[in-house]
Chain A
Amino acid sequence: EVQLVESGGGLVQPGGSLRLSCAASGFTVSSNYMSWVRQAPGKGLEWVSVIYSGGSTYYADSVKGRFTISRHNSKNTLYLQMNSLRAEDTAVYYCARAPRYCGGDCWDYWGQGTLVTVSS
């Protein structure tokens, strides 16, 4: 059974850093395109970042230069390192897997999400 479990969220001050983790089971993270998607309280979904199976990474303009997506193959875990956090980064962060039948462009399995709150 495919499962994604995020952790690492919490309260952080503006300008601070946080690292989110997404532990996967039932499939191999490094063989799939994996993304982070976030949702601010009461708002819509926003794509944040993707890491391809080959290792290429891409970011939304809103986080470029501040966030870094990575993975640990032997731990089968996806990460999101978030630096220089701003109030507008406050959101529930989901990790999600892109199935091959979408060519990497959609997500069939999502974690339960982890809440990041940026506030002083």
Chain B
Amino acid sequence: SYELTQPPSVSVSPGQTARITCSGDALPKQYAYWYQQKPGQAPVLVIYKDSERPSGIPERFSGSSSGTTVTLTISGVQAEDEADYYCQSADSSGTYQAVFGGGTKLTVL
């Protein structure tokens, strides 16, 4: 199995840009996905296939990929964006395995 590594926490002021990174050796070969999870709620998919945004997700959420690192960027952060964010990847080339990063707590100051 492989690992995805995220920073435990990121803090930004409202209106600023938050960047959350996720590193993993398999990321150059596999897509990354990002989820937002607020306390007591199920996760919500905010980015798929590194940089695509599902319908209904605000445009301030974007994703990018470079080598072994993918980045979730939230532009013009709002108070409602305070949540845990998880990156995730999957290897379905043989037997299926999916992996999550440890999660990053985004605090809006």
Instruction: Give Cα A112 to B41, complex, Å.
Output: 7
Residues of chain B with a CB closer than 8 A to A108's CB = 45, 54
**Mask for B31-70, Cβ within 8 A of A = 1, else 0?**
1010101000011110011001010000000000000000
B35 CB contacts on chain A under 8 angstroms: 45
B98 / chain A contacts, CB cutoff of 8 Å: 35, 47, 50, 105
Could you say which residues of chain A place their CB within 8 Å of the CB of B42? Answer: 94, 110-113
Contacts of A9 in B (CB 8 A): none
CB neighbours of A1 from chain B (8 A) = none
Interchain CA distance A103-B92 in the complex, whole Å: 9
**A53-79 interface bits toward B, Cβ cutoff 8 Å, 1 = contact, 0 = none:** 000001011000000000000000000
Q: How many residues of A contact B (CB 8 A)?
A: 23
Q: Are A105 and B33 neighbours in the complex by a CB distance under 8 Å?
A: yes
How far does the Cβ of A87 sit from chain B's closest Cβ, in whole Å? 21
- Does A106 contact B45, Cβ atoms closer than 8 Å? yes
Q: Is B88 an interface residue (CB 8 A)?
A: yes
A28-45 interface with B by 8 A CB criterion: 35, 37, 44-45
Asked if B79 is at the interface (CB within 8 A of a chain A CB), the reply is no
- What chain B residues lie within 8 Å of A106 (beta carbons)? 33, 45, 48, 88, 90
Q: CB-nearest residue of chain A relative to B32?
A: A106
Cα distance A101–B33 in the bound complex, in angstroms: 12
Residues in B lying within 8 Å of A, measured CB to CB: 1, 30-31, 33, 35, 37, 42-45, 48-49, 52, 54, 86, 88-90, 92, 95-103
Known pairs A46-B100, A47-B90; list 12 more (Cβ under 8 Å): A44-B100, A44-B101, A45-B88, A47-B100, A58-B95, A61-B1, A105-B30, A105-B90, A108-B45, A108-B54, A111-B42, A113-B42
Question: Could you list 15 A-B pairs, sorted by A, with CB under 8 Å?
Answer: A37-B43, A44-B101, A45-B100, A47-B88, A47-B97, A58-B95, A101-B48, A102-B33, A104-B92, A105-B33, A106-B33, A106-B45, A106-B88, A106-B90, A110-B43
Q: Which 6 pairs from chain A and chain B are nearest by CB?
A: A105-B90, A47-B98, A58-B96, A110-B42, A106-B33, A44-B103
